[in-house]
Structure 1
Amino acid sequence: MVALRKRSRILDRLLDDRGRVKRWPVRRAQQLIVLDHIAAQIEEGVTWNEVELGHMLDGLHAFNDPARIRRELVDLGILARKRDGSAYWKVAPAED
């Protein structure tokens, strides 16, 4: 419960009135909360090219750096991509 309240407080500070991330946080723990928030809004079962993914991510943040978000999501295994970067998709969460 405490973790949910802390997450909520962090997102309240970092999201604008449209629910977009206003700025990239400095602290890694806050970055992970932001990335989780963004990942929750990405549809599974859809494949995007790099430009399409960038446009979709632009709607989720206001600091104009979709490449950073894309790289972070891929590095965390939330998104997967073809080796040449021509296609991206959301990875289904592992079942426990």
Structure 2
Amino acid sequence: MRPILTGMDDGSEATHRQEERVARCFSSNGRLQRWPARRADQIVVLWIVWAQLPANGHRSEAEITATLRTWHDLGDPLTLRRQLVDLDLLRRTPDGAIYTRVARTDIPDAAARLSDRFDACGTL
């Protein structure tokens, strides 16, 4: 099942406002500091996190959790991991031991721009 995306990648003022709201959830060097209240903004945050995950190979549950822990100050990498799985951005084996980043090309524009911005800072 494909997740419903934000539907706000039209270059509108609403898209710009959403991008700025999401950017405020991150520090200047791209570290996630707070979880947004709006679900649409949460989805953009998850896409940003997805964009920073290694594209190739399989990772153990411990490796994915450790990676997610290094990118945020929320104290709950398990919720991020579950949300990524729920959006089909990350897949796991039935026993939950191995995770793989799903190859996707439909990244929302706001997430791509913010991911590029934070990646340029050398973080995430």
TM range (shorter): 0.7 to 0.9
Query: Identity percentage over the alignment?
Result: 36
Partner residue, 1:75: 86
Q: TM-score, normalised by structure 2?
A: 0.69
Question: Which stretches in structure 1 are left out of the alignment for 5+ residues?
Answer: none
Partner residue, 1:60: 71
Matched residues in 1 for 2:43 and 2:61: separation?
22
Partner residue, 2:21: 10
Partner residue, 1:38: 49
The total of aligned residue pairs comes to: 95
Partner SS for 1:80 = strand
Measured after TM superposition, the shift of residue 66 of structure 1 is 0.6
Question: Which stretches in structure 2 are left out of the alignment for 5+ residues?
Answer: 1-10, 107-124
CA contact (8 A) 2:22 2:36 kept: no
Greater relative contact order (Cα < 8 A, sep 6+): 2
Residue 96 of structure 2 aligns to which amino acid in structure 1?
Answer: G
State the Cα RMSD in Å.
1.7
Partner SS for 1:88 = strand
Q: 1:7 to 1:41 in 2, by over 3 A?
A: farther
Q: TM-score, normalised by structure 1?
A: 0.87
Matched residues in 1 for 2:54 and 2:18: separation?
22
The runs of 4+ residues in structure 1 deviating greater than 4 Å are none
